[in-house]
Chain A
Amino acid sequence: MSVSTPAPGSSTPMSPAVKTPSSGTRRARPRSAGAHRTRGTVVKYAVLSLGAVAFLFPFYYMIVGSLRKTTTGDLSSAVPSGLTGSSYTAVNGAISLGRSLLNSGIMTIGVLLCTLVFGVLAGYALAQLQFRGRGTVFASLMLVQMVPFQLLTLPLYVLVVRDYGLGDNYVGMILPFAINSTAVFLFRQFFLQLPQSLFEAARLDGAGELRILWKIALPMARPAVLTAMLLTFIGPWNEFLWPFLVTKNADMQPLAVSLASFLSNLQGTVANPTGALLAGACVLAAPAVALFILFQRHFTSTDIDSGVKG
């Protein structure tokens, strides 16, 4: 369905039904249809490839730039030559990658655990259990997804860092993201789809709700759990503003924060600053990209592919 093929008034090969005689499009010269199809396909691939280059080139540049001995802005830097890992060593010396990665990992895993445990409970309750205030909780869930989170950072900063004294503390880093509302919504949607009768039967057999959730609902919810985990992962892993506010101590900073401080004021301390910066960027990007490539189809959710023709 390319937009760029100028074929006014002629038959279009985009819909399968065009080929059937009853569709009435046969009156347009049948011989040119093939030509249009080829031209349309070429345009489609051209558009898609151009897009792919625009999307992938910065990543390519990031990797090549991080591996060169000297990384400058000129065009030759896009060509891999004299590759070395020295930029990785340099950035590691300036911001201690291991420690930063550990902090990013603790923050992310903390968020994942809280979201899984409390999110599954909340999602199950919202989908399958009756209780007073259920409508209100669900309405709040929807509302929360509309509130720009950054707007709350100032009062949260005052509360968490000043009042509760949780600055430079993992609990303080995790707290604002602890339960991902989108994941709760996802769990609820999934549990809603499961047949009621399944749960009723278990209830009549005297199983408690926690047991039903653990033994029946959760094993079936594996795809939802995986999607929610991937979706939740990229948030805290990539987050910058909140950990930037909460952590002043370099030993507590997650990689996004230490890399940003390297970007704004530590670059002068290494021999090949651009290379070192790009090396840090590669390390920060790698886990999310790797997870994405491994579990790609879960990222894009099932409904996108199911209805595709052809």
Chain B
Amino acid sequence: MTNLRSAVTAPRAGTAVVGGRGPAEGAASRHRRLTTRTGALFVTPYVLFLLVVFAIPMVYTLWISVHRFYFTAPGTHADSPWVGLSNYRDVFTDPVVGRAFLNIAVFLVINVPLTVLLALVLAAALNAKIRFRAFFRAAYYLPYITASVALVAVWQFLFGSDGFVNHLLGSHAPDPSWLVNSHLAMPMIAVFVTWKQLGFFVMLYLAALQNVGKELYEAASVDGAGRIRQFFSVTVPGVRPATTLVVIYAIITGANLFSEPYLLTGGGGPDHASTSPVLLMYQKGIEQGHPDFAAALGVVLVAFVLVISLAARKLTERGN
């Protein structure tokens, strides 16, 4: 977070340098005029990209969400009459939508504490002088860089009804099995995603731990604080900005969840037990041909993400 903030203020400093150049005034202003055009030219492809891939689709979603919108065969045209908020009414009265948002809540309740705890413990252990550090780091990072589809294939195999884990558990295996159990499907997805992303957060915490002053540990130890005490009163507050990032990232991941429920639990699990909002957008919008409903759902989802991101940020930064 600190990086981002300093990055935001940086351009102003750059401006000051250019403006403050005294002697070569004529040349400088000529260059400034020149770079004005060049700078704009250099950045044009990126701006076009942002317009085409972000701005226009966002406005288009809003437009679709307040119209009756149909997919048409290529070359044909269908009217899209204005329907006001009726798509939103459909979204709010659809029980599956409620279920999908509840599923995201379950996801966050499992994913966030598990990620924070495991990533912090592993980062703290890695932060010490230790042999094979490069190996451990690589091991934790591996799932993060590997394709979801590949990992889902392995997990399906490990946690399938006749899979490795159930063979290991014998008669203690859950029935119905993990991925087809309506109570376990969503927690399984949360655990899978935690496992897959953990390496990223271990690295994040590892970097954050470098910024926790050693003298704080010394002071705590002089005061007679043991290691556990030091962990909770020095380490945990020290890496709080990273924790905020973990929470925000988890919320965005939750809002983006698609491949895992679609592939790991066969299109949303039993009775929509692991349906996510994005999966629902796909099913309603593209499979069932109601893009207007899906667009309204997307708008609701963005609002949901914004609200809980802000709330989470307030909550995690309250201690400062």
Is A170 among interface residues, defined by CB-CB distance under 8 A?
no
Which residues of the other chain, A, contact B302 by a CB distance below 8 angstroms? 147-148, 151
Is B199 among interface residues, defined by CB-CB distance under 8 A?
yes
Binding site secondary structure of chain B: helix
Known contacts A51-B122, A119-B46, A152-B61; A62/B150 CB under 8 A: yes
Per-position contact with A for B61-102: 1 when CB-CB < 8 Å, else 0?
Answer: 100100000011010000000000000000000000000000
- Interface residue count on the B side (C-beta < 8 Å): 121
- Interface residue count on the A side (C-beta < 8 Å): 128
Contact in complex: A152, B54 (CB < 8 Å): yes
| Interface, chain A (partner B; CB < 8 A) | 1-3, 5-12, 14-18, 23-25, 40, 44-45, 47-48, 51-52, 54-56, 58-59, 61-62, 65, 71-75, 77-78, 118-119, 121-122, 124-135, 137-138, 140-142, 144, 146-159, 162, 165, 175-176, 178-179, 184-185, 188-189, 192, 196, 203-204, 208-210, 234, 237-238, 240-241, 245, 256, 259-260, 263-264, 274, 277-278, 280-282, 284-285, 288-289, 292-293, 296, 299-301, 303-304, 306-310
Is B153 among interface residues, defined by CB-CB distance under 8 A?
yes
Known contacts A72-B162, A259-B153, A263-B156; A9/B143 CB under 8 A: no
Contact of A1 among B24, B40, B127, B151 (CB under 8 A): B127
A–B Cβ pairs within 8 angstroms, 7 of them: A8-B226, A73-B163, A77-B164, A148-B302, A158-B64, A240-B259, A284-B150
Measured CB to CB, the closest approach of chain B to A262, in angstroms, equals: 9
Contact in complex: A156, B57 (CB < 8 Å): yes
Per-position contact with A for B206-249: 1 when CB-CB < 8 Å, else 0?
Answer: 11011000110110011010111111000100000000000000
Known contacts A56-B142, A131-B36; A44/B46 CB under 8 A: no
Known contacts A73-B157, A281-B150, A292-B138; A78/B164 CB under 8 A: yes
Is B158 among interface residues, defined by CB-CB distance under 8 A?
yes
Contact in complex: B58, A292 (CB < 8 Å): no
Lowest 9 A-B CB distances belong to which pairs?
A: A310-B129, A129-B39, A131-B39, A8-B226, A125-B42, A238-B147, A281-B150, A155-B57, A122-B46
Measured CB to CB, the closest approach of chain B to A309, in angstroms, equals: 7
